[in-house]
Amino acid sequence: MLPRLFEIPLGFTTLPIHTYGLMVLAGFLSGLWVAGRRAPSRGVSPELVTDLCVWLLLGGLAGSRLAYVLFYNRYDPVVMRWEFDWGLFDLLDGGLHPAGAVAGFVLVPLAAWWRSRRRKGGSPAEGAQDAPPPFPPRSRKGRLGLGALALLGGVVGARALHVGLNVSRYNFKLFAIWEGGIVFYGGLLGALAVGLIFLRRRRAPVLTTSDLIAPSVALGAAFGRIGCFLKGCCFGGVAEGLPWAVRFPRIVETVVRDGRAVQEVTGSPAFLHHRHACPLQVGPEATHSLPVHPTQLYEAAAMVVLFLLLSWYGSKRPRPGRVLASLGAGYGLWRFGLEFLRGDWHPHAVGLTLSQIVSLGVVAASVVLWLVVPAEGGPREGAAEKAS
């Protein structure tokens, strides 16, 4: 494993380059390249694909991180606090700066005015499809909406300025996605929500574009799981005697406790888990975890196969929505089975892990999409695609 590739000295500190983050970036760029190359043959604009993929990345990262924080937040008895806390968003701690409130309140209508200039200078074709609303708003609903956004901007600005002036008081680990700690299904739901909103606003064919992107999702997941292996997370169950089983090392780092630098065992995740769960087998002098299934590599290989299968199926031009449904069903079934080999999660309900329960829901939704949506939405998608 190789959690950090290297560190960049910045004088006052160092910037660690995490291999996990690099693999996520590599997966995103690879998926974007593949989808962009295939877009013209599907009647989709490459520029639309680029914009969509950027929003999918942002929505996926936000959803995956939020799911991890909500469902897998751990209490650290050493420092007597949760790994992630919500202090940044606690508006009741007195942390609202008046200057930030004024700036945020003013910036919202200023941004609305700036966007309205596109409406005046754009062509009729542009104004008919994606033009911003006029400024000032002409309807009562528009004025109320702008006022609400201005108030929200004031609160956000007040809080942001206060936090910026008191950085040492807050824990920003909540946003340290490059260190790992994301959930695939959370990212999938976040990306789906953001992608649907984006495509609806751009009036693009939702199912056709989703089918184009679906193979790239599998390809990106393959890179992400390689990143998991290099970080040491998402490890498998104990596999004594398995020829290809792997042992993850003990990692000792210098950390600051009460103003003092001390040596502390910080990883790997598999080693820490076995040190706590199997103290007789992984004692104080142990240097590696027990041998485990390399489930990260299992999934990376499976996602490459799924990428190839979806690419082949998409080339046959099936009805809109069926490539996306195949992605959901294929990954859901694979993940459900793989969870039996995972060693880092415990059963959540009825003997199944949370990911297995979600997998069943994803498979069911994919079956519904396969059976119902094409019969109802296929002709409309096709007509929309020709019109665009």
Residue 354 lies in a domain: yes
Nearest-angstrom CA–CA distance, 221 and 226:
9
Do 77 and 107 reside in the same domain of the chain?
no
Residue 331 lies inside a defined structural domain of this protein: yes
Residues 351 and 272 in one domain: no
Q: Kindly tell me the burial class for residue 102, based on how many C-beta atoms sit within 10 Å of its own C-beta (0-12, 13-18, 19 or more).
A: middle
Residue 224 and residue 135 in one domain: no
Query: Do both 203 and 72 map to the same domain?
Result: yes
Each residue's pLDDT tens digit in the chain (388 positions)? 777 777 777 766 677 778 888 999 999 999 999 999 999 998 899 999 999 999 999 999 889 888 887 777 665 544 445 566 667 777 777 778 889 889 988 898 888 888 777 655 544 444 444 556 677 777 888 888 888 988 988 888 888 888 888 777 776 777 776 666 778 888 889 999 999 999 998 899 999 999 999 999 999 999 999 999 998 888 999 999 999 999 999 888 776 666 677 777 777 888 888 888 888 888 888 889 999 999 999 999 999 999 999 999 999 988 999 999 999 999 999 999 999 999 877 777 788 988 899 999 999 999 999 988 754 444 445 444 443 4
Task: Give the 3-state secondary structure of the chain.
Answer: CCCEEEEEECCCCEEEEEHHHHHHHHHHHHHHHHHHHHCHHHCCCHHHHHHHHHHHHHHHHHHHHHHHHHHHCCEECCCCEECCCCHHHCHHHCCCCHHHHHHHHHHHHHHHHHHHHHHHHCCHHHHHHCCCCCCCCCCHHHHHHHHHHHHHHHHHHHHHHHHHHCHHHCCCHHHCHHHCCCCHHHHHHHHHHHHHHHHHHHCCCHHHHHHHHHHHHHHHHHHHHHHHHHHCCCCECECCCCCCCECCECEEEEEEECCEEEEEEEECHHHHHHHHHCCCCCCCCCCECCCECCHHHHHHHHHHHHHHHHHHHHHCCCCCCHHHHHHHHHHHHHHHHHHHHECCCCCCECCECHHHHHHHHHHHHHHHHHHCHHHHHHHHHHHHHHHC
User: Is residue 32 domain-shared with residue 140, that is, in the same domain?
Assistant: no
| Residues 165, 48 within the same domain | no
Q: Specify if 91 maps to a domain.
A: no
Q: How far apart are CA 371 and CA 366, in angstroms?
A: 9
Q: Residue 90 falls within a domain, yes or no?
A: no
Looking at the structure, tell me whether residues 127 and 262 fall in a common domain.
Answer: no
Q: Which domain holds residue 13?
A: 1-85+178-241+295-388
- 4 with 143, same domain: the answer is no
Same domain, 233 and 323: yes
Predicted local confidence at residue 8, as pLDDT: 77
Among 122, 144, 170, which residue terminates a domain?
Answer: 170
pLDDT at 194: 94
Q: In the prediction, which pLDDT does 132 show?
A: 61
The answer to whether 171 touches 85, Cβ cutoff 8 Å, is yes
**Does residue 310 sit in the same domain as residue 359?**
yes
Number of domains within the chain: 3
- Identify the pLDDT of residue 76: 54
Report whether 245 contacts 291 (CB < 8 A). yes
Q: Do 129 and 216 reside in the same domain of the chain?
A: no
The model's pTM is: 0.77
Looking at the fold, whether 337 and 385 belong to one and the same domain comes out as: yes
Q: Domain for residue 92, yes or no?
A: no
